[in-house]
Structure 1
Amino acid sequence: MEKKVIFSASYYTQKYYSNPEFDGIPTAIRNEIRMICIALAEKLHAIFTIGFYEDGEVYFEARAEESDYDFDEIGVPLEIKRLESEQSELIKMLRLWYKIYKTPEGEVLKETILKETEKRKNSN
């Protein structure tokens, strides 16, 4: 299944990447994602990524450079489970955003909402 990165941060280079394809995600959510990625990249000594699978599910990934012996392979899944638990609302919002803005069903939903809004506006 194809993955699309929303945001990624590297402990090694002290840099991050934000995918312009997802600039439409509300600013508050994007800021939260950025903070999470940077914090977990630092904590885990890794490159930490948040993204979407092509079906709209959110994924988290932490990987190390080959020469990094400080990378905690056991701690990473535990940290991701904690993140999924603590940030369940954020994950739900990301899934919803993806479904509305990146799927054909979302386009139909947007059109329906716009038509209903126009009807209400014209009837007033």
Structure 2
Amino acid sequence: MQKTNKGRVFEETAGGRVVLCGANAYEQKYYFNPIFKQIPESIKKELNIISVLFTQEAGGIFTIVFEEDGSISIETNADEEDITYDEITAGLLVGEVRRKRQDLFEALGLYYRIYVLHENPADILGEES
């Protein structure tokens, strides 16, 4: 797990990765990247709930990031001094979120590839056949 220094982890990261959303247990804040304001409200609310509940359970900072190829990564990290952050719980929760929300993340990945990367939907659907 990567540690931060009160890490303000949002917006764009190095290497073409873009943060979709995240929550910070230290500042008790949720962030949704305004680049994705067209995403339906119901999905925004679901992402908010996932992020906030994660940080309430495990602490630290939780982010959902689009990789350069449109795939989604779920990341969690904590400040070096944070003795309350539970890496084991965080790791288990990441796995649980991935399993339970797999369809949501696949749909968001398609959205990103079509509307942000401007890939041809027919080509994407052809890949999945």
TM-score range, shorter chain: 0.7 to 0.9
Partner residue of 1:29 out of 30, 43, 46: 43
Tell me the residue number matched to 2:18: 4
SS at 1:98 equivalent: helix
Residues 1:89 and 2:99 are matched in the alignment? no
Partner residue of 2:58 out of 39, 44, 51: 44
Unaligned runs of 5+ residues in structure 2 are 1-14, 123-129
Is contact 2:22-2:61 (8 Å) kept?
A: yes
**Alignment map for 1:1-124 (pairs within 5 Å):** 1-106=15-120, 109=121
Q: Aligned-pair distance for 1:86? A: 0.6
Larger Rg: 1
Percent identity of the aligned residues? 35
Q: Deviations over 1:5-61 (max 9, x none)?
A: 111111111112111111122211111111100110111111111120111111111
Alpha-carbon distance in structure 2 between the residues aligned to 1:46 and 1:103: 30
SS at 2:79 equivalent: coil
Q: Aligned-pair distance for 1:66? A: 1.6
Is contact 2:58-2:87 (8 Å) kept?
A: no
Alpha-carbon distance in structure 1 between the residues aligned to 2:95 and 2:64: 14
Alpha-carbon distance in structure 2 between the residues aligned to 1:104 and 1:95: 12
Kindly report the root-mean-square deviation, in angstroms, between the aligned alpha carbons of the 2 structures.
1.6
Deviation >4 Å, runs of 4+: none
Count of matched residue pairs: 108
SS at 1:74 equivalent: helix
TM-score by length of 2: 0.77
Partner amino acid, structure 2, of 1:103: L
